Amino acid sequence: GQNIDQPTEMTATEGAIVQINCTYQTSGFNGLFWYQQHAGEAPTFLSYNVLDGLEEKGRFSSFLSRSKGYSYLLLKELQMKDSASYLCAVRDSNYQLIWGAGTKLIIKP
């Protein structure tokens, strides 16, 4: 079967750095997405990785290792507004998105 694993919940301190991991087992691979979802709101796109390595976009970076079936989202200089759920999704060989259950990130002052 296809599976995306992420931690259910993480806690971090304002101003710090946090890394949210995602491991996947899918039938084929055509890219990995990270989305942010604030409580009661729609998911919004954060990043896309299709090749191995690190993609940096401001305070957020995303890393991919296809051989390990592994990605992480790195958030720097955490702000209270970063409190949200972070969803990892993999596009499989049929170009369908397989979603993880999401990681709820709690930021404490």
Give the residue from 70, 81, 78, 76 showing the smallest Cα distance to 13: 78
CB of 94 to other proteins, least distance (A): 10
Give me 23's structure tokens.
Answer: 């491991």
Contacts of 59 (CB under 8 A, 6+ apart): 75, 76, 77
Task: Tell me which of 39, 58, 67, 95 binds other proteins, using CB under 8 A.
Answer: 95
User: Within 23-42, which residues bind other proteins (CB under 8 A)?
Assistant: 30-31, 33, 35, 41-42
HSE (side-chain half, CA atoms, 13 Å) at 2: 16
User: Within 45-84, which residues bind other proteins (CB under 8 A)?
Assistant: 45, 48
In three-state secondary structure terms, 80 is: helix
Q: Does 9 bind other proteins (CB under 8 A)?
A: no
* Beta-bridge mates of residue 75: 18, 60
CB of 19 to other proteins, least distance (A): 20
Q: Does 97 bind other proteins (CB under 8 A)?
A: yes
Which residues lie near other proteins (CB under 8 A)?
4, 30-31, 33, 35, 41-45, 48, 87, 89, 91, 95-102
